Amino acid sequence: MALYCAISNEVPEVPVVSPSSGAVFERRIIEKYIIENGVDPISGKELSVEDLIEIKTPPIVKPKPPSATSIPATLKSMQDEWDALMLHTFTQRQQLQTARQELSHALYQHDAACRVIARLTKEVTAAREALATLKPQAGIVAPQPTQAAEAAAGPGGVVAIGMSAEVVSRLQERATALTQERKRRGRTVPEGLVTPEQIRSFLTLASHPGLHSASVPGILALDINPSDHSRILTGGNDRNATVFNKDTEQVVAILKGHTKKVTRVIYHPDEDTVITASPDHTIRVWNVPTSQTTVLLRSHEGPVTGLSLHPTGDYVLSTSTDQHWAFSDIRTGALLTKVSDSSGVSLTTAQFHPDGLIFGTGTENSQVKIWDLKEQSNVANFPGHVGPVTSISFSENGYYLATAAEDSCVKLWDLRKLKNFKTIQLEEGYAIKELCFDGSGTYLGVAGTDVRVYLCRQWQELKVFNEHTASATGLRFGHHAHYLASTSMDRTLKIYGIE
């Protein structure tokens, strides 16, 4: 039976065995290793030269000691070098094995750390989103009803306090001033208004897909700041409203607080304030610089479907599926009046007349109704549509009302004669989401399956934009119609104009 050295893997001349590991070694090699390291190379336990046990084997006849100048001496030197090399190689193998184990352990720890970091990052993101949702609640103004009002409160707990003589007087004064201003403007075209030929040459100048979340795609509402036409307000399916500067292409503010999608938005004409409505039954008034809700209106017991700001800038009109329209103070959060539609159907949209004394509402059963705000009474009805009314818009001249429903047509009404004088029939299946006159009443925009612009009075189609890949949901004209903005379910805000 041949013995082999555990270090050099050769037959040892003087074999010894280690009592620690039981391995066989060449004495001269193991002694060198013990002198340098003091441990068994196999087990790693402490070992001394005295502990080694020599193994009795048949004697090997050794040649005479070679002289330093002979070939055998050279061979002996080479043997010594070989032994040293084997010893070094063995040490290297051990160190390599140890390094492999340490690397494997380090990689395992790194992988575990990455998993923990990813989980913590996810939790921090969720916590930040929750904090952002809760933060706007601070400082919210809510009406404080009297004990008598609390006793008379309905299921929603909000009571209409009534329109005081002071409020009615303010409404009347504002209406008189606006009427006189409209008469002064007369039939003249505003200086600087874009011409129909320029409208025809409009191109898509920009497309912005990053204003709302991609996980819940769709922009549902749009408005432009009347005093700063570079600022655009959008409401999305992601429950947020976004203020965007089209000139710098930067998001100014993201308004988080609604618990459901934002379906209606208004930019205040005189203040850095916006108003939003949602199917979560609430209307929020926001301070844009702080991105916080300043007033929370709970005027309805159902999803809010329509929203319109009174020309005074102090009151807001809203409609809901709870079959009521409401008139609220955005400064105090007070509900001034709430009126039920006698037809007993859901209201779908609302819009103030430019003078603010009358307004229109659309219903689920195809009716367009005109209301007197001061008397809180229905003064005229415009039948003729088929399907729920989706949008209504008053012209700035105060004479025309444009309405749309799920019947793929736009109807124009003369408010002086209370009759329909023009119907624009679109393609079958065309879904109209919003109508919008420009600030001068010269152009009418239609947003739906595509985006279209019509010239008023002639009601001639000027331009069709097909750039959206999904249904268009919002449409607004910039100052003097120098540009046109539209939003869509494809998550983009598009800007049209002249290059």
Looking up tokens 């002086």 gives: 416
DSSP structure class, residue 39: B
H/E/C letters for each residue in 425-487? ECCCCCCCCEEEECCCCCEEEEECCCEEEEECCCCEEEEEECCCCCCEEEEEECHHHCEEEEE
Architecture of domain 1-61: 2-Layer Sandwich (3.30)
Q: Which residues pair with 339 in a beta bridge?
A: 325
Distance CA 216, CA 232 (A): 20
DSSP structure class, residue 195: P
What type of residue sits at position 336? L
Contact 239, 282 (CB under 8 A): no
Q: pLDDT in tens for each of the 499 residues of the chain? A: 678 898 888 888 889 999 988 999 999 999 999 988 889 988 889 999 999 999 888 765 555 555 556 788 888 888 888 988 888 898 899 899 999 999 999 999 999 999 999 999 988 888 877 776 554 444 455 554 433 333 334 444 567 788 888 999 999 998 998 888 877 776 677 888 999 999 999 999 999 998 998 888 899 999 999 999 999 999 999 999 999 999 999 999 999 999 999 999 999 999 999 999 999 999 999 999 999 999 999 999 999 999 999 999 999 999 999 999 999 999 999 999 999 988 889 999 999 999 999 999 999 999 999 999 999 999 999 999 999 999 999 998 888 999 999 999 999 999 999 999 999 999 999 999 999 999 888 999 999 999 999 999 899 999 999 999 999 999 999 999 999 999 999 999 999 999 8
Query: How remote is the C-alpha of 191 from its chain's centroid?
Result: 39
Q: What share of the chain is helix, strand, coil (3-state, %, to 5)?
A: 25, 35, 40
Contact 311, 352 (CB under 8 A): yes
Architecture of domain 165-184+191-497: 7 Propeller (2.130)
Domains in the chain: boundaries? 1-61, 165-184+191-497
Q: Do domains 1-61 and 165-184+191-497 have the same CATH topology?
A: no
Angle 426-462-406 (CA atoms, 0-180°, nearest 5)? 20
Distance CA 362, CA 393 (A): 11
Listed in sequence order, the residues at least 6 apart from 14 whose beta carbon sits closer than 8 Å to its beta carbon are: 26, 27, 28, 54
Is the pTM value of this prediction over 0.75? no
DSSP structure class, residue 62: P
Q: What is the DSSP string of 89-143?
A: HHHHHHHHHHHHHHHHHHHHHHHHHHHHHHHHHHHHHHHHHHHHHHGGGTT-B--
